[in-house]
Amino acid sequence: MALDPLDVLRTVPLFKQVPEADLVAFARLVRERRRPRGGMILSQGDPGDALFLIRSGQVKVSVVAEDGREVILSVLGAGSFFGELALLDDEPRSAHVIAMEDTVLLQLHREDFRGRLKLSPELSISLLRELSQRLRRADDTIASLMLLDVNGRIANLLLELAREEGGETGTRITRRLTHASLGQMVGASRETVSRTMRNLVLRNVISVTRREIVLLDIQALRLAAQRAI
């Protein structure tokens, strides 16, 4: 249970290219934080002075409108990090981050992080690569919001979720997400998600059990997701 922070750092993809010596330096700088399910980790608008690595658990990055409607920008699990934007460009936090399960984090303060960044080009490059990927995903989301109907966006999301947890042709989603959450990810109401998923089940494209979604017909999903409506 009381894992050495250093061992945790070694499992973080962001640090894969970073030399061992740098990791040791990092390990001395991080601090463990815990948040219960539902707990707020950071809030939109706050000044950002720390980066977080997820040791275990799951968090959502979301934006909340005045009337309470919520948009989930991403869901991150163990090995991911967040909070880097505010460190890099000195702007306030751009979104809320909320624990979806009991979560253990490693916190790294701005100056410590920036200091390592200057000294370790490998770290910069890993980080650049990761931000590039996030930017691609964001652009992809924008394009699907503009080009696809709800059915296509849900197909897209299911493929993406399966890929994240099961490699290139992942076919199972075990992460537990409510219809409401799925709706907040694709910009649809809970009711519409419910009807759309029902439809996919009836057409034998997916199967849904209590704690997992299985993608039965990936081809059909790809078609719905790629096809411009």
Partner DNA sequence: AATGGACGGTGACCGGGATCACGGCGCCGG
Partner DNA sequence: CCGGCGCCGTGATCCCGGTCACCGTCCATT
Nearest of 167, 188, 165, 186 to residue 176 by alpha carbon: 165
CB of 127 to DNA, least distance (A): 34
Check residue 17 for interaction with a copy of itself (CB under 8 A): no
Check residue 110 for interaction with DNA (CB under 7 A): no
Check residue 10 for interaction with a copy of itself (CB under 8 A): no
Cα(9)–Cα(26) distance, rounded to whole angstroms? 8
Check residue 187 for interaction with DNA (CB under 7 A): yes
Check residue 85 for interaction with a copy of itself (CB under 8 A): yes
Own/partner contacts of 196-202, CB < 8 Å, gap of 24 or more, are: 196/150, 196/151, 196/154, 197/154, 199/151, 200/154, 200/155
Q: Determine the number of helices (DSSP H) and then strands (DSSP E) in the chain.
A: 9, 11
Build a one-symbol-per-residue string for 56-95: x at contacts with DNA by CB under 7 A, - elsewhere: ----------------------------------------
Build a one-symbol-per-residue string for 94-133: x at contacts with a copy of itself by CB under 8 A, - elsewhere: xx---------------------xx--x--xx-xxx-xxx
Neighbours of 92 (CB within 10 A): 12
Nearest of 100, 3, 107 to residue 52 by alpha carbon: 107
From start to end of the chain, where are the E strands? 31-35, 40-42, 50-56, 58-64, 70-77, 81-82, 96-99, 103-109, 172-173, 206-209, 212-215
Single residue of 6, 29, 88, 216 touching a copy of itself by CB under 8 A: 88
DSSP one-letter code for 59: E
Q: How many residues bind a copy of itself (CB under 8 A)?
A: 41
List residues near a copy of itself by CB under 8 A: 63, 65-67, 69, 71, 73, 84-85, 88-89, 91, 94-95, 117-118, 121, 124-125, 127-129, 131-136, 138-143, 145-147, 187, 226-228
List residues near DNA by CB under 7 A: 149-151, 178-180, 187-192, 194-195, 197-198, 208, 210
